[in-house]
A and B are shown apart, each in its own frame.
Chain A
Amino acid sequence: MNHDIESGMRSALRPLAPSEEFSQQLLARVAADPQARQKSYGLMPRIARPLAWWLATSLAACLVLAVGVERHLEQQRSQQSGLEARREVLQALRVTSQKLNLAYEAVKSESTSLPDEKPGD
């Protein structure tokens, strides 16, 4: 019985040709398609394609590396300038502290050298 169904299917599913109009349109469109042949490689010889791929990949890797190194250096520079600023602030605090100490000593020695004032004198 399956044999009958199979022969029926073969008869029912004979390949069909598209309309002549569609066929002509299709041929015209395919022939006019600018993407025909080796799309992005254009006229580059087949043997050069792996080389082109490696070259493009290497360039991309170099670019990423360069950006990474630049960022790292920039970070180091900003860290360095931060440390420099901290050193300057500490130095300024040290100088201020010394000056204040000197002033304090001067005021203190001046107050001890003055005679005691007696009330009623």
Chain B
Amino acid sequence: MNDAACDLLDEYLAKARSGERAALASLVRAHQRTVYSLALRMLGTRDLAEDLTQDVFMQLNGNLSAIESNRHLGFWLRQVTTNRAIDQLRRRSRVQLTSLDEEPELFCAEDGADPLLQRHLRALLSDLSPQARAVLLLRYQEDLDPMDIARTLDMPINTVKSHLKRSLETMREKTGGATLRCEDQPT
């Protein structure tokens, strides 16, 4: 996000705090992808992800006065979403955790990545513990560095690094190191 966009969102935040509904709607629009994607990939189903997304934004609505900037808002949303998702996963069994197939299928994307491998990686992600899954999502979906992940999940940085290392090793073993690209696939 560039500086101008950040400034604009800071402005929306100030207006939302003073009660301007349109500014609040703009903030929701700007951050809903992050919250929804985290919720979907943590919980595994679209219904649960939509419920969680809604709950998180409702909670934000009541806590706007505590949010200092757009950057803080992003941190707050990621923290609340992952923590609530981890709590939900702890409360229920693993019955619904393998349904990441609800994600729309990605055909050979512009980066040439293999859609089958992507699907396999997402399925492997759903086999991880809730904490490890949250760490990977914050690292590879949200592009946070380990220090920010540790702050978001209130976890020691060494635990974050160890989750990353172990999860990637597991995934590498289970994919057999295969990272086919579109151009490598037989036609």
Contact = CB atoms under 8 A, between A and B. Distances in A.
A15 B168 contact: no
Interface in A1-50: 1-2, 4-18, 22-23, 26-27, 29-31, 33, 35-39, 46
Interface of A: 1-2, 4-18, 22-23, 26-27, 29-31, 33, 35-39, 46
Interface stretch (B5-13, B25-33, B80-88, B90-98): B25-33
Most buried by B among A10, A26, A46: A26
Given A1-B172, A26-B28, A30-B28, A16 B62 contact: no
B62 A35 contact: yes
Nearest to B50: A22
A8 B179 contact: yes
A6 to B, nearest CB: 7
Nearest to A26: B54
Nearest to A40: B62
For chain B, what secondary structure do more than half of its interface residues adopt (helix, strand, loop), or is it mixed? helix
Nearest to A10: B140
**Interface bracket on B:** 35 or more
Contact of A12 (B25, B32, B118, B177): B118
A121 B118 CA distance: 141
Interface in B23-67: 24-25, 28-29, 32-34, 36-37, 40-41, 49-50, 53-54, 57-58, 61-62, 64-65
The 5 closest A-B pairs by CB, nearest first: A11-B113, A12-B118, A4-B179, A13-B141, A9-B140
B118 A8 contact: yes
Contact of A37 (B17, B41, B111, B141): B17
Given A5-B168, A15-B37, A18-B53, A23 B65 contact: no
B157 interface: no
